[in-house]
């Protein structure tokens, strides 16, 4: 809003339900181009392709981020980083791991919940989440960056997971040896939860699982709640 005070003032009046006819014209000029609005904003323009969608739910956020990641790179360049789930009192087999990866934790109230799968590719914009590394260095929850390198491994049951990603955080003061300026290695964090897992005979067993996953998400879509306080140059809002 600082770079466009006119739009900022219009949004302020919208929040107070005091819009003028000029405000309506301004908002209408920002509609996405379509057959009904041929003179509006073209998302195919290079400056608009990086726009982030602000959505209402975590489920929609995850779906949009996955679809956009799949459409933004060649299939062979896309890395699906599976969470590394472990249970202290038993070994999880392939079917157990698949069940856990498919579970939807997007509505879980715990703010530190981690997704089962994160789509990644070199050059993908990401947002740091559930971790504050350093306020002074500018690498905190909500910080935005771009992936420069992805290190993966395969777990004993054959699923690929990410061991580390090198992320450039523009404007960050971090400078590590052997890495370009503003780049920082992001490694998995852990989250422990209790759930019911289906057995082959149809019964269920209760497990306490520790999940290891990267504390980042694609930056193509964010929820309205998580967008608060972030500087997003271009956004899509319904």
CA 75 to chain centre: 19
Quote the Cα angle for 189-192-194, to 5°. Answer: 155
- Taking the domains of the chain in order of start, what are their residue ranges? 77-222
Tokens of 140: 């905190």
In whole angstroms, what is the distance from residue 125 CA to residue 72 CA?
Answer: 11
Which of 27-41, 137-151, 152-166, 206-220 shows the lowest per-residue confidence on average (mean pLDDT)? 27-41
How far, in Å, are 53, 92, 145, 164, 200 from residue 170 at the CA level?
21, 40, 6, 19, 49
Tens digits of per-residue pLDDT, 222-232? 887 666 666 66
How far, in Å, are 60, 136, 209 from residue 99 at the CA level?
21, 40, 12
pLDDT for 187 equals: 96
Q: Which residues contact 10 (CB under 8 A, 6 or more apart)?
A: 19, 22, 23, 26, 27
Cβ burial of 18 (10 Å; 0-12, 13-18, 19+) is exposed
pLDDT for 1 equals: 55
**Rg, Å, the chain Cα set:** 21
The torsion angle over the Cα atoms of residues 237, 111, 164 and 140, rounded to 10 degrees, is: 70
pLDDT for 2 equals: 64
Tens digits of per-residue pLDDT, 101-129? 999 887 665 557 899 999 999 999 999 98
Report pTM.
0.81
Q: What's the average model confidence in pLDDT over 167-196?
A: 93
pLDDT for 157 equals: 96
Checking if the pLDDT of 155 tops 70, the result is yes
At residue 27, what are phi and psi to the nearest 5 degrees?
-65, -40
């Amino acid at each position: 809003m600082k770079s466009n005070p006119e739009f900022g003032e219009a949004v302020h009046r919208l929040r107070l339900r005091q819009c003028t006819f000029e405000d309506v014209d301004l908002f209408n000029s920002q509609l996405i181009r379509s057959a009904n609005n041929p003179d509006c904003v073209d998302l195919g323009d290079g400056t608009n392709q990086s726009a982030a969608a602000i959505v209402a739910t975590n489920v929609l956020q995850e779906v949009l981020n996955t679809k956009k990641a799949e459409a933004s790179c060649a299939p062979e360049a896309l890395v699906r980083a599976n969470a590394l789930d472990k249970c202290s009192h038993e070994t999880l087999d392939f079917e157990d791991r698949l069940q856990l990866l498919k579970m939807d934790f997007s509505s879980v109230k715990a703010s530190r919940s981690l997704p089962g799968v994160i789509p990644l590719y070199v050059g993908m914009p990401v947002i740091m989440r559930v971790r504050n590394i350093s306020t002074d260095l500018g690498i905190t929850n909500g910080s935005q960056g771009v992936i420069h390198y992805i290190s993966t491994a395969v777990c004993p049951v054959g699923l690929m997971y990410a061991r580390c990603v090198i992320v450039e955080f523009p404007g960050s003061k971090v400078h590590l040896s052997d890495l370009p300026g503003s780049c920082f290695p992001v490694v998995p964090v852990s989250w422990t939860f209790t759930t019911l897992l289906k057995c082959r005979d149809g019964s269920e067993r209760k497990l306490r699982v520790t999940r290891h996953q990267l504390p980042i998400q694609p930056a193509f879509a964010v929820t309205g709640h998580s967008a608060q306080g972030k500087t997003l140059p271009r956004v899509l809002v319904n």
